[in-house]
Amino acid sequence: QSVLTQPPSVSGAPGQRVTISCAGSSSNIGAGYDVHWYQQLPGTAPKLLIYGNTNRPSWVPDRFSGSKSGTSASLAITGLQPDDEADYYCQSYDNSLSGSRVFGPGTKVIVL
């Protein structure tokens, strides 16, 4: 059972906006630790999508954005494209677990 909670799946038509939530607690996101997001396309290694809650690496288009508030974070994808169909994971640090980074269970984005 993950310390961070994500919906199993979200879906949208091409061009639409979808959001993925990542719920944590006072020992991780709520304690001020950054949230990072990763995209994993089928059969490939994960790739960094958002770091430090809101920052995009140079290779990530601005259709992807991140936010954080309280004990939760969110990833938004605007202008949804077929290539965005993938698994998305949030990740943070939890101070109740020895030395532990924690991942959410992942959310499958389905492009209708």
Partner 1 sequence: EVQLVESGGGVGQPGRSLRLSCAASGFIFDDYDMHWVRQAPGKGLEWVSGISWNSGRTGYADSVKGRFTISRDNAKNSLFLQMNSLRAEDTAFYYCAKAGTKNWYADFDYWGQGALVTVSS
**Which residues here bind partner 1, judged by CB under 8 A?**
2, 33-34, 36, 38, 40, 45-48, 51-52, 57, 89, 91, 93, 97-106
Task: State the first-to-last Cα distance of the chain, in angstroms, to the nearest integer.
Answer: 29
Strands (E), 4-106: 9-12, 18-23, 36-40, 47-50, 64-69, 72-77, 86-94, 100-103
* C-beta of 82 vs 99, nearer to partner 1: 99
Give min distance, CB of 91 to partner 1, in A: 7
Give min distance, CB of 87 to partner 1, in A: 8
